[in-house]
Amino acid sequence: MSIHAILQTVFGYQAFRGPQLDIIQHVVSGGDALVLMPTGGGKSLCYQIPAIARQQAGQGITVVISPLIALMHDQVGALHEAGVSAAFLNSTLSMQETSQTERRMLQGEITLLYAAPERVTTPRFLEQLDILQSRGLLSLFAIDEAHCVSQWGHDFRPEYRALTVLHERFGQVPRIALTATADALTRADIIERLQLQEARLFISSFDRPNIRYTIVEKREASQQLLRFIRDEHMGDAGVVYCQSRKKVEETAELLCDNGIAALPYHAGLDSRVRQANQDQFLRSEGIVMVATIAFGMGIDKPDVRFVAHLDMPKNIEGYYQETGRAGRDGEAADAWMCYGLQDVVNQRRMIDESPAEEAFKQGLRGKLEALLGLAEATDCRRVRLLSYFGEASQPCGNCDNCLQTPDVWDATDAARKLLSTIYRVQAMSGFGFGAGHIIDILRGKVTDKVTQRGHGSLSTFGIGADLSEAQWRAVLRQLLAIDAVAVDAQAFNTLALTEASRAVLKGAVPLRLRVSQLSAAQRKSRRSAVPGAAAAKKSVHLALDMPAQARLAALKAWRFEVAREHNLPAFVIFHDATLSAIAESAPQSLDALQGISGIGSRKLQAYGEAVLAVVSDCLASADNP
């Protein structure tokens, strides 16, 4: 069967997207590849179709290295639905199930086998791979989430480093490594660590035009999040990322108390509770998952309408990967983040306290500076984001800055005043002070601490009274980001000057900052003028006429019952886009149904008659109201 026939017959799609065809042809012919493709871009087909094609040619099994059990379960379930022989080996299997899967693998009865890197690199599994190779049944290695191998990647996992054994021990077996996010530094590290120097590099556009990026200054973060969900996404599925487990628990409770269905997810939860929450999120509609970064990869739910960050991630790769969980179905979605001075302080402290070498720390500081640059940007967010990954673009017209250009002000003199105050305070007292106290001095605020320390006599006392506390915190965020101010975590987060402070004090480093967050009235006006992702999504569904909407509702109800019987997420049965197309065209024969995107031969055989029955019942009801 040709690769086009596999695409149409097995997966039900009529045409490849972007570079999929080139990648698949290259891998089918036995070439190595490193693939960078955004979340929702169709990465899995880039190894699933070669796996099917190569097995049909008698070349054996494809081993997929995947880091998460949830991802394995859902992908194997989806492949079974498409009629492909697939299996996984992980800790959820009993000894008997594991033995049975291993037997089928060694006999070449499986097309795709999913396993975690920890298992793949064990002596037992490597010996089994040796047997497969000796029988000519080892076809391909697919290394998913390949950024995990890099120390520069946002989710480095040491166990991925051991995957170099695949090249060393099975050098004749082609490999495809895939990731949704990697800057130039991370790409180079992936190539070196996985020994992919001879691999062909495929880089898709990183642009996700259906995602609207909005970044706001943190004031009352929980209330800001509540307003965002209520105004834009009430009843939608979403993910809220927090930095700490405690904040995850508190935020989930707050959302539930305010009528928003929410569940917590973090590594401190009992594994059964964590799995149950994830299953409910994947299998139900309208659930908001509040999570740490532990909830990330492997979340294939296509109808996540928003991703919100209550705390700033470590770098742009992490931000891009996490926001990429939104809008996998191509419909409008929101990426919303609020951040503040404490976020920057916390991130810098974690870097500074790391036991890593100074060169590595400096790289992390550079990545943090790039993320803060994105947060403080006054130009198009999307242009900034894509530029980070080396991709040129034009203003998107859809991010917060494009929709309403922010006002800016020259903060160069303010930065010099702030640094001068830090210097003078330390010179007078012999030690440093925290941000709040420094800002109080600048604004001429007479506090007990200012009076007790005699800091009211400093020449910089009150010279910044014309700026608000929020403006001073914005200045300090920038100075922290460019390493012109250091935070001493061992001395109660006190501030100190650095080598980079000198250039700022001399006025050689200009700072231009955005004016502080819009007033509530302006925000309300802006929301009413610019529909959010939820409104855009609803408008797409409203494009269906009333009878078609009724058919869509009936089809979703049928899909829910089938998914529950099969213990699978509903989207594994059929995606929303497929159901919408069925509802709109109202097919009345299997031939008409077969032409709809997302319906392959196996699904047509398994569900075709049932789908036609649902459509027929709806048509009959419309004729006989």
How many other C-beta atoms are found inside a 10 Å radius of the C-beta of residue 171?
Answer: 9
Quote the pLDDT of residue 257: 96
pTM: 0.81
41 and 50 in contact (C-beta within 8 Å)?
A: no
Give the pLDDT of residue 295. 63
Pair 90, 116: CB distance under 8 Å: yes
Res. 239: pLDDT tops 80: yes
> CATH number for the 3-203 domain, one of 3.40.1160.10, 3.30.2320.50, 3.10.20.30, 3.40.50.300?
3.40.50.300
In this prediction, residue 625 carries a pLDDT of 60
Read off the pLDDT of each residue in 143-171 and give the average, rounded to a whole number: 87
**Per-residue pLDDT tens digits for 392-434:** 999 999 999 999 988 888 999 999 999 999 999 999 988 899 9
Worst-scoring range by mean pLDDT, 128-142, 437-451, 530-544?
Answer: 530-544
Q: What percent of the chain has pLDDT over 90?
A: 59
The DSSP result for 170-213, as a single string, is -TTS-EEEEES---HHHHHHHHHHTT-TTSEEEE-----TTEEE
Query: Which CATH fold topology does 211-404 show?
Result: Rossmann fold (3.40.50)
Other Cβ atoms within 10 Å of 463 Cβ, number: 19
List the chain domain ranges.
Answer: 3-203, 211-404, 409-514, 543-623
Distances (CA, A) of 574 to 107, 302, 608: 32, 11, 12
CATH architecture, range 543-623: Orthogonal Bundle (1.10)
Q: What is the pLDDT of residues 321-349, one digit of tens each?
A: 899 889 988 889 999 999 988 888 888 88
**Average pLDDT for 40-54:** 93
Please indicate whether residue 100 or residue 535 has the higher confidence score (pLDDT). 100
Band of pLDDT at residue 237, cut at 50, 70 and 90: very high
Amino acid at 562: V
Q: Which CATH class is domain 409-514?
A: mainly alpha
Looking at residue 490, its pLDDT comes to 65
Share the mean pLDDT of the chain: 88
Distance between CA atoms of 245 and 311, rounded to whole angstroms? 12
Domains 3-203 and 409-514 in one fold = no
Residue 428: how many other CB atoms lie within 10 Å: 13
Out of 38-42, 514-518, 547-551, 571-575, least confident range: 514-518
∠ CA 124-125-127, rounded to 5°: 65
Q: Tell me the pLDDT band of 127, cut-offs 50, 70 and 90.
A: very high
Quote the pLDDT of residue 314: 86
Model pLDDT, residue 538: 46
> Do the bridges between strand 61-65 and strand 512-514 make them parallel or antiparallel, or are there none, so unpaired?
unpaired
What is the per-residue pLDDT for 298?
55
pLDDT at residue 533, as a whole number:
46
